[in-house]
Structure 1
Amino acid sequence: MPERDTATQPLHDLLSAFGLLTRLPLPQTTRHRANAAWCWPLVGLGVGAVALGIGWLGLQAGVAPGTAAALTMGAGVMVTGALHQDGLADTADGLFGGWTPERRLDIMKDSHIGSYGTLALIIVSLALWSALGGLIAAGDWVAIGAAAALSRAPMAVTMAALPNARKAGLSSNVGRPSRGAAAIAVVLAVLICAGLTQDLRQTLAMVVACAVASLWVAVTAQRKIGGQTGDILGATQQLSLVAALIAAQM
């Protein structure tokens, strides 16, 4: 039995990761393993593939690249249940709307959206739509898939590097992945990115942009609330995705 558990653990981790980060109708688990974070880039690749498939079909049907970009965004939101967008909005409201760590955490926990959260969603969504439209118009679909995979790795790194700022919530319930699991996520994400783009310069630009964006979120979160939460991880993914997509065009 132990050998069987060890042999099937990667599959269990993958199903757990898809169950945690998406709403795809896959076999679910009632207990998510923190170290399953190593395969989050694979989830990003899967989400990206579904979203790109919808966008590509729209383009084949004759819609403009901008409309195809909107379809791609919409499909991604549906697949993930807007999990990361919700985190972005709550993070913006909490980090910039409160004056103390306790108050910031309270605001982030509130289901209502404020002006900071609204503006963050609008600005980031516009940047994402613009970047996707540019890449789709250029026919660079692989860079979009690479960014989707790449943007999930910083969540694992942030989760492993920072303590949980709240003793409850999704991030706290899942636990902290080991540094080894986070390192595997990074290596896997970079390999996926390099394998898809086949362009060292583009890969390096995307990796650096992703790292800078996620580092800014992590440093800000550590300074303002003393660690990370599920909302912080969602904001990390969204800003890393936009940064990687913008860098892919440079």
Structure 2
Amino acid sequence: MKKELHIFFTCLMFYTRIPCPKNIDHNPDYLNKATRYFPFIGWIVGSISFLAFYIFAQFLSVEIAVILAIIASILTTGAFHEDGFADVCDGFGGGWTKEKILLIMKDSAIGAYGAIGLVLLFLLKFKLLSESISLFQMENPIGLLQVFLLFLSAHALSRLAAISITFTHEYSRDDATSKSKPIAKKHTWKEILGSSIFGLLPLLALSYFQYNFLLAIIPVFITRYFLARYFQKWIDGYTGDCLGATQQVCEVVYYLSFLFIWKFI
């Protein structure tokens, strides 16, 4: 149990800005095992985001509350995944060889592709999440619970889609100095099972109210498949930025799928 707690806090420290015990560090072995808890981090980030939304929705409009909820999630993770998304936009938008793409992605400066990508990403996330929330009757406890599960399932499932790439593909960079290198090692069934349970459980809970919500898994993992295939084609694998981009794109695809299922299926 003590070791599992250490692994969990290693995951929490790596993927969020939430304070952890002082004895926790980026131990490569623990960091590799921490992938089993990555979707559970989605539970934490999703809960914080929902709490911010709920509090501000008591005094402000739903749209403003959604914006503040998105800000809360960004502050919780330190824009970890958004930064990866921007780097991928810059790298794959401006590079035409593996070496050039990797070099651009490692540059801390943001370019035009990254800036444009983030603007469009946030606009989509805001609009889709606002419309999704408006479908529920939040004055009803059941409706409020469904909104909570929507936040949790979006963050958890998108993280499962992202981390699953490490189970099927190789890390692209040759240098071991990258902070994402430790999670690129081989994984055991514990990492695969743990991440799958934490990634799918919130969606299973949401589908209790309407079973066809489970169909959202399909477009999310189709998106994951084509992103991983694209990364493999251009850089022979993935990087930490690729995982962050996958998480962000899959989160948006999940909201879009949820709306489509609600309105047409």
Q: Give the TM-score normalised by the residue count of structure 2.
A: 0.86
Corresponding position of 2:205: 195
Corresponding position of 2:106: 109
Query: Which segments of structure 1 move beyond 6 Å, counting only runs of 4 or more?
Result: none
Point out the more displaced range, 236-245 or 12-21.
12-21
> Deviation per CA, 1:84-106, whole angstroms, max 9, x where unpaired?
00000001111121111000000
Given residue 232 of structure 1, which amino acid in structure 2 is its aligned partner? Answer: C
Map 1:26-105 → 2, pairs under 5 A: 26-27=20-21, 29-30=24-25, 31=27, 32-61=30-59, 63-105=60-102
**Residues 124 and 104 (structure 1 numbering): CA distance in 2 closer, same or farther, change over 3 Å?**
same
Give the Cα–Cα distance (whole angstroms) in 2 for the partners of residues 36 and 68 of structure 1.
32
Give the Cα–Cα distance (whole angstroms) in 2 for the partners of residues 127 and 119 of structure 1.
12
Question: Aligned match of 2:155 in 148, 156, 162?
Answer: 148
The count of aligned residue pairs is 242
Give the Cα–Cα distance (whole angstroms) in 1 for the partners of residues 4 and 96 of structure 2.
43
Residue 221 (str. 1) matches residue 231 (str. 2):
yes
Is this contact kept in 2: 1:66–1:133, CA < 8 A? yes
Identity of aligned residues (%): 29
**Residues 176 and 192 (structure 1 numbering): CA distance in 2 closer, same or farther, change over 3 Å?**
farther
Is this contact kept in 1: 2:32–2:182, CA < 8 A? no
Question: How far 1:183 moved relative to its partner?
Answer: 4.2
Instruction: Extract unaligned runs of 5+ from structure 1.
Output: 1-6
Q: Give the TM-score normalised by the residue count of structure 1.
A: 0.91
Is this contact kept in 1: 2:38–2:195, CA < 8 A? yes
Is this contact kept in 2: 1:169–1:229, CA < 8 A? no
Give the Cα–Cα distance (whole angstroms) in 2 for the partners of residues 159 and 90 of structure 1.
19
Question: How far 1:179 moved relative to its partner?
Answer: 5.3
State the superposition RMSD in angstroms.
Answer: 1.6
Is this contact kept in 2: 1:98–1:107, CA < 8 A? yes
> Deviation per CA, 1:43-100, whole angstroms, max 9, x where unpaired?
1011000011001111111x11111110110000000000000000001111121111
Is this contact kept in 1: 2:98–2:234, CA < 8 A? yes
**Residues 243 and 45 (structure 1 numbering): CA distance in 2 closer, same or farther, change over 3 Å?**
same
